[in-house]
A = this chain, B = another copy of it.
Amino acid sequence: MAKITVYAFGWVPPFARGLVRDLRVRWALAEAGLPYEERLIGAEEQASEGYRRIQPFGQVPAYEEDGLVLFESGAIVLHIAERSEALMPSDPGARARAKSWMFAALNTLEPHVQNLAGIDLFHSKEEWAKLRRPSAVEAVRARLTKLSGWLGGRDYLEDRFTAADLLMTTVLRILRHTELVAEVPALEAYRLRCEARPAFEKALAEHMAPFGANG
């Protein structure tokens, strides 16, 4: 079995704990039953040229497996999912549908969700953020309404849990400082359903552990 290494931060401020994107990779590995080693980095290493060769934008996560270096949480989760039926069905059409939803989570939902999180968590005292917030909330709400409309009575985005639900859940979690998900009962139930998976609980504990030690 290939040795897998996941790069994550050894410390982040409390508001970011439980949200940093290495959680996605840890969760995918837990669903797939793959062991990994974590490699915790700090601000100095993050800004180094050496790390830039691993992660061109200086972000986490990054991922190593037998000399293959990958970055971008979406791509890493996809890489794991492509080799585990726990994360993606074997039927080619169903796989393509799951990938549509993976990109929807990260390219249609997350930019608006992250925009609001940036306003609230980084810029809340700035004048532009106060003026912008109402329309930023509406942009998020519009997408959540459509997502909820799609889900309807479904338990998952498609017929079963896939890597797309994993990513979508981590996007919804970014809104935990608001009531936006809670105010849509079908979405809140969906988030809780996904977070109740043992693999999520394992991944979250492993993501949080360094912050306890380094808190």
B-binding residues in A (CB < 8 A): 52, 56-59, 68-76, 78-79, 93, 96-97, 99-104, 106-108, 110-111, 114-115, 126-129, 131-132, 143, 146-147, 149-150
How many angstroms between the C-alpha atoms of A150 and B111 in the bound complex? 23
Residues of B within 8 A of A52 (CB): 146, 149-150
Q: In the assembly, how many copies of this chain are there?
A: 2
- Residues from chain B with a CB closer than 8 A to the CB of A103 are 72-75, 78, 106
Q: Assess the B147–A56 pair: CB atoms within 8 A.
A: yes
Interface class of chain A by DSSP: helix
Instruction: Give which listed residue, B56, B74, B101, B114, contacts A111 with CB less than 8 A.
Output: B114
- Distance of A45 from chain B, by nearest CB (Å): 16
Give min CB distance, A169 to chain B, whole Å.
16
By the criterion CB–CB under 8 Å, are A110 and B107 in contact?
yes
- Selected A-B contacts with CB under 8 Å, 28 pairs: A56-B146, A56-B147, A56-B149, A57-B104, A57-B108, A57-B143, A57-B146, A59-B108, A68-B93, A68-B96, A69-B97, A70-B97, A70-B99, A70-B100, A71-B104, A72-B99, A74-B103, A75-B100, A75-B103, A78-B99, A111-B111, A111-B115, A115-B115, A126-B131, A127-B128, A128-B129, A128-B131, A131-B131
